[in-house]
């Protein structure tokens, strides 16, 4: 069986989750579900990043012990994953013993290969990003220096172990060249290339001014730099350092989904650490864009961070999942506006898809005694209608393989609109008296089309599409992509339809 390994970033537990975190994991979930539908054995990993200065400080601010604090905040990410319907196979926490063991094993391997040396770090550090910056990257306002992310930086001076990153510069450039799909989208790839070409310096990979981290083996005055610790999670979960582990077959990861803020860590440091330990690098890193809220940056100080749980409560889970991936091209920045969610829900889900299903299934109830008409021949008009539908699974598969979620939804809904055109022109309600045979054929064709839409939309809207497939009479073991090749037998009894989506009143 083909394997697929997909990951989300592991999220910092300094604060509770918001819509940005839900977004990255949602995209990963949709691809994981699609691959399973396509017969792959999937390993989908998510989790929380619990060490480092930023989390330690958040625990102090909350007046809590860091472990108790991370236990609590990590749980809120787990709750989010459950409420968003994510289908992850593992939820990793970096404070778990398995992860500490993997980090220490990787460290010792790098040390053994002379990829690490002890030195002294002096430079700029942003706790908010947990990142080191060169002076040339900073801007100064009112006497404070800021990183490009907007995070303030502070001068750090402490003994530190270094990773020989500079040594891997040429290897990295060669790797990017040979693997043009490693970094997507192209704009991000170009940024990384120019950063690496401008020259890499060795990377500080331990800290001594605080203790909340994985202790460096044989030198416990140092804790590992949180990004070395965090990135290692992707191999911890696959069983590292045990290459005989059951899950090691999933490595290298097929796609690491990340936001554009953390591209450098995933596409420079991570493949370099792995190459230095002679571990295969991941196949692809996709960096999506940034959500703003009603035109404003989401921030703690503005207090406008959107709680996904409240949105689920307000609009329902599947309309939210649909909207997030439909509204904005995956890779671009986007704005979260409630009016846009309402418009997509009402126009595309309730009107185009919901009404099509309801009209078709109601006619089958009323005019065909609730039984699915037999498989029928296609005439020329039907052939034209089905050309697009027959190609849909392959087209959607190609678009999802390129992480083009919005385009996948666009082609599916173009096909749904074509079916609305077909039902209007064929007017099966009028055929009842004039040509009952053709009426049955048209309804059967519409049913077949709906089965395709529901099947390919399952990864995006699992609950609602399960309900639609129930209404279409598709047995649970016939919901894979491959099952589309086998038509349902004519005469299958269909339950009376009920509405799939509700229209949302726009706020005035
Ligand atoms: O960076 N729009 O964790 P983090 C879109 N622990 N996506 C957003 C977003 C927004 N406004 N805000 C956050 C870390 N995200 C590290 C990762 S991985 C080995 C370690 C998403 O809690 C986006 O995916 O700051 C971003 O990369 C991630 O949350 C950052 O989460």
Q: Could you read off the pLDDT of 14-50 as tens digits, one per residue?
A: 988 999 999 999 999 999 999 999 999 999 999 999 9
List the residue whose alpha carbon is closest to atom 19 of ligand 1. 231
Summary mean pLDDT of the chain: 96
Q: How large is the angle between the packed helices 462-471 and 317-327, nearest 10 degrees?
A: 110
Over residues 359-379, the pLDDT tens digits come to: 999 999 999 999 999 999 999
Question: Is any ligand 1 atom within 6 A of the Cβ of residue 260?
Answer: no
Question: Is any ligand 1 atom within 6 A of the Cβ of residue 228?
Answer: no
pLDDT for the residue 417: 97
Question: Is any ligand 1 atom within 6 A of the Cβ of residue 259?
Answer: yes
Over residues 475-504, the pLDDT tens digits come to: 999 999 999 999 999 999 999 999 999 999
Ligand 1 center to residue 216 CA distance, Å?
Answer: 26
Point out the ligand 1 atom lying closest to the alpha carbon of residue 292.
Answer: 11
Over residues 305-359, the pLDDT tens digits come to: 888 999 999 999 999 999 999 999 999 999 999 999 999 999 999 999 999 999 9
List the residue whose alpha carbon is closest to atom 8 of ligand 1. 20
Question: Is any ligand 1 atom within 6 A of the Cβ of residue 258?
Answer: yes
Q: ∠ CA(325), CA(331), CA(336), 5° rounding?
A: 50
Question: Is any ligand 1 atom within 6 A of the Cβ of residue 203?
Answer: no
Over residues 135-145, the pLDDT tens digits come to: 999 999 999 99
- Per-residue CA distances from 507 to 265, 277, 309, 343, 354 (Å): 41, 56, 19, 11, 22
Q: Is 377 exposed, middle or buried (0-12, 13-18, 19+ CB in 10 A)?
A: exposed
Query: Distance between CA 10 and CA 331 in Å, rounded?
Result: 19
Q: ∠ CA(466), CA(471), CA(477), 5° rounding?
A: 55
Measure CA of the first residue to CA of the last residue in the chain; give whole Å.
Answer: 52
Per 3-state DSSP, the chain is made up of helix, strand and coil in percentages (nearest 5) of: 50, 15, 30
Q: Residue 129 is encoded by which pair of tokens?
A: 């990003």
Cβ neighbours of 445 (radius 10 Å): 26
Strand pairing of 144-146 and 183-184? unpaired
DSSP 260: G
List the residue whose alpha carbon is closest to atom 14 of ligand 1. 11
Helix, strand counts (H, E) of the chain: 19, 17
Averaged over 280-299, what is the pLDDT? 92
Averaged over 189-198, what is the pLDDT? 97
List the residue whose alpha carbon is closest to atom 4 of ligand 1. 11
pLDDT for the residue 470: 98
Over residues 210-259, the pLDDT tens digits come to: 999 999 999 999 999 999 999 999 999 999 999 999 999 999 999 999 99
Q: How large is the angle between the packed helices 66-83 and 308-315, nearest 10 degrees?
A: 20
Averaged over 83-111, what is the pLDDT? 98
Question: Is any ligand 1 atom within 6 A of the Cβ of residue 20?
Answer: yes
Closest to 324 (Cα-Cα) out of 11, 28, 14:
28
Question: Is any ligand 1 atom within 6 A of the Cβ of residue 298?
Answer: yes
Bridge partners of 93, per DSSP, are 48
Q: Residue 205 is encoded by which pair of tokens?
A: 């990979």
List the residue whose alpha carbon is closest to atom 12 of ligand 1. 20
Task: Give, for 156, the enclosing helix (H) or strand (E).
Answer: strand 154-163
Percent of the chain with pLDDT over 90: 95
Query: Distance between CA 422 and CA 68 in Å, rounded?
Result: 59
- State yes or no: pLDDT of 410 exceeds 80: yes
**Contact predicate 47/9, CB 8 Å:** no
Query: Distance between CA 284 and CA 165 in Å, rounded?
Result: 20
Question: Is any ligand 1 atom within 6 A of the Cβ of residue 23?
Answer: yes
**Exposure pattern of 398-409 as b/e (b: 16+ CB <10 Å)?**
ebbebbbbbbbb
Ligand 1 center to residue 22 CA distance, Å?
Answer: 10
Distance of CA 437 to the CA centre of its chain: 46
- State yes or no: pLDDT of 301 exceeds 90: no
Question: Is any ligand 1 atom within 6 A of the Cβ of residue 490?
Answer: no
Query: Where does the pLDDT of residue 507 fall: very low under 50, low under 70, confident under 90, or very high at 90 and above?
Result: low
pLDDT for the residue 508: 53
Contacts 24+ apart (CB under 8 A), 489-495: 489/372, 490/371, 490/372, 490/373, 490/374, 490/375, 490/444, 491/371, 491/372, 491/374, 492/371, 492/372, 493/370, 493/371, 493/372, 494/361, 494/364, 494/365, 494/370, 494/371, 494/372, 495/370, 495/470, 495/471
DSSP 280: P
Q: Residue 10 is encoded by which pair of tokens?
A: 């592991």
What is the maximal distance between C-alpha atoms in the chain?
A: 88
Q: Which of 261, 269, 306, 333 to mutate to test the pocket of ligand 1 (most atoms within 8 A of CB)?
A: 261
Percent of the chain with pLDDT over 70: 99
pLDDT for the residue 247: 98
**Contact predicate 118/83, CB 8 Å:** no
Query: Distance between CA 30 and CA 86 in Å, rounded?
Result: 9
Question: Is any ligand 1 atom within 6 A of the Cβ of residue 21?
Answer: yes
Question: Is any ligand 1 atom within 6 A of the Cβ of residue 262?
Answer: yes
Query: Where does the pLDDT of residue 297 fall: very low under 50, low under 70, confident under 90, or very high at 90 and above?
Result: confident
Q: Residue 417 is encoded by which pair of tokens?
A: 């609109």
Question: Is any ligand 1 atom within 6 A of the Cβ of residue 459?
Answer: no
Point out the ligand 1 atom lying closest to the alpha carbon of residue 233.
Answer: 19
Question: Is any ligand 1 atom within 6 A of the Cβ of residue 261?
Answer: yes
């Amino acid at each position: 069986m083909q394997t697929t390994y997909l990951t989300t970033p592991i999220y910092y537990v300094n604060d509770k989750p918001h819509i940005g975190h839900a977004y990255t994991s949602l995209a990963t979930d949709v691809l994981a579900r699609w691959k399973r539908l396509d017969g792959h054995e999937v390993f989908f990993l998510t989790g929380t990043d619990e060490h480092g200065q930023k989390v330690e400080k958040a625990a102090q601010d909350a007046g809590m012990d860091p472990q108790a604090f991370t236990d609590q905040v990590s749980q809120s990410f787990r709750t989010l994953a459950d409420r968003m319907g994510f289908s992850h196979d593992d939820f990793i926490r970096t404070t778990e013993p398995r992860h500490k063991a993997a980090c220490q094993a990787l460290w010792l391997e790098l040390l053994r290969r002379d990829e690490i040396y002890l030195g002294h770090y002096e430079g700029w550090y942003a706790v908010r990003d947990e990142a080191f910056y060169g002076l040339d990257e900073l801007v100064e306002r009112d006497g404070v220096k800021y990183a490009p992310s907007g995070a303030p930086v502070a001068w750090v001076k402490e003994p530190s172990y270094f990773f020989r990153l500079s040594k891997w510069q040429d290897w990295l450039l060669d790797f990017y060249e040979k693997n043009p799909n490693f970094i997507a989208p192209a704009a991000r790839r170009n940024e990384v290339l120019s950063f690496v070409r401008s020259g890499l310096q060795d990377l500080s990979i331990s800290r001594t001014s605080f203790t909340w981290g994985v202790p460096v083996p044989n030198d416990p005055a140092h804790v590992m730099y949180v990004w070395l610790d965090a990135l290692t999670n992707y191999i911890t979960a696959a069983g590292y350092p045990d290459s005989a582990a059951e899950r090691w077959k999933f490595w290298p990861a097929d796609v690491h989904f990340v936001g554009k803020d953390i591209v450098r860590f995933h596409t420079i440091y991570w493949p370099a650490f792995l190459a230095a330990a002679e571990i295969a690098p991941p196949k692809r890193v996709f960096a999506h864009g940034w959500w703003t809220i009603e035109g404003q940056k989401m921030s703690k100080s503005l207090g406008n961070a959107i709680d996904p749980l409240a949105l689920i409560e307000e609009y329902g889970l599947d309309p939210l999942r649909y909207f997030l991936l439909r509204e904005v091209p995956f890779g671009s920045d986007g704005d979260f506006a409630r009016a846009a969610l309402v418009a997509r829900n009402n126009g595309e889900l309730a009107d185009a898809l919901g009404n099509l299903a309801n009209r078709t299934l109601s006619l089958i109830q009323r005019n065909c005694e609730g039984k699915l008409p037999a498989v029928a021949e296609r005439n020329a008009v039907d052939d034209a209608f089905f050309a697009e539908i027959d190609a849909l699974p392959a087209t959607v598969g190609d678009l999802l393989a390129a992480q083009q979620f919005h385009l996948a939804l666009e082609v599916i809904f173009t096909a749904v609109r074509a079916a609305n055109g077909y039902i209007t022109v064929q007017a099966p309600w009028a055929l009842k008296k004039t040509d009952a045979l053709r009426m049955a054929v048209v309804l059967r064709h519409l049913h077949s089309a709906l089965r395709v839409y529901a099947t390919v939309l399952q990864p995006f809207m699992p609950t609602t599409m399960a309900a639609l497939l129930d209404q279409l009479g598709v047995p649970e073991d016939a919901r894979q992509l491959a099952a589309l090749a086998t038509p349902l037998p004519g005469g299958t009894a269909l339950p009376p339809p009920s509405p799939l989506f509700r229209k949302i009143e726009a706020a005035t």
